[in-house]
Chain A
Amino acid sequence: EVQLAESGGGLVQPGGSLRLSCAASGFTFSSYWMSWVRQAPGKGLEWVAHMKEDGSEKYYVDSVKGRFTVSRDNGENSLYLQMSSLRAEDTAVYYCARDLGYCNNGVCHAVFDYWGQGTLVTVSS
């Protein structure tokens, strides 16, 4: 059974740092792109970062570029999100999600078929 479990959320002051982890099990982690998606309280979903299987490609939403870094340890079956210079607007539930890996006619789609339960990050003084 595929499982994703986020951890590391909590209360942090503006300007502070936090590292989120996502522990994966039930599938060959090293064969899948992975993403972070967040959801501010009462708001919609916002994609944050996407990372290739071997870590050679990473993509970010503009609002976190230069502040957040996505990484992975395929030996530990884990995905990470290092967050620094945190702002109040980063307050959200952060989900990790697995990319299905659907490709058709040479076009690969970012499709998130499994999600963790989320971890809440609150940025406040």
Chain B
Amino acid sequence: AIQMTQSPSSLSASVGDRVTITCRASQGIRNELTWYQQKPGKAPKLLIYAASISQSGIPSRFSGSGSGTDFTLTISSLQPEDFATYHCLQDFSYPLTFGGGTKVEIK
């Protein structure tokens, strides 16, 4: 199974900060990576798919990049509603595998 290593596992940031979360695959996965946001007690929410395509309705401050093994989710200016846990998911091959998650907390 492809292993997805997400970093950092948690971070503290302030409103307005630029935040970068990375996901590394144990082998090349082309651009077959998705990012989700999850708030406590809620289901995940789709942010970015195919590494860089924003889901409809997602604010433009969220962007994704990368291909092959290294991927990045960037929040250009952190907003209060962005404090949450972020997960990456590879869909290059079965079993689909998630990264361990990155919790973004308020500094």
Binding site for B on A (CB under 8 A): 35, 37, 44-47, 50, 59-62, 95, 100, 102, 104, 107, 109-113, 115-118
> Nearest residue in A to B95 (C-beta to C-beta)?
A61
> Nearest residue in B to A116 (C-beta to C-beta)?
B43
Residues of B within 8 A of A100 (CB): 46, 49
Binding site for A on B (CB under 8 A): 1, 30, 32, 34, 36, 38, 43-46, 49-50, 53, 55, 87, 89, 91, 94-101
Say whether B43 contacts A95, CB under 8 Å. Answer: yes
Q: A44-B98, A44-B99 are in contact. Are A110 and B87 (CB under 8 A)?
A: no
Interface SS of B by simple majority:
loop
Q: A62-B1, A107-B32 are in contact. Are A112 and B46 (CB under 8 A)?
A: yes
Say whether B98 contacts A46, CB under 8 Å. Answer: yes
Interface SS of A by simple majority:
strand
Residues of A within 8 A of B101 (CB): 44-45
Say whether B44 contacts A45, CB under 8 Å. Answer: yes
Contact of A44 among B49, B50, B100 (CB under 8 A): B100
Chain A nearest CB from B47 CB (Å) reads 11
Residues of B within 8 A of A44 (CB): 87, 98-101
Q: Please measure, in the bound complex, the distance between the C-alpha atom of A91 and the C-alpha atom of B96, giving whole angstroms.
A: 20
Chain B nearest CB from A62 CB (Å) reads 6
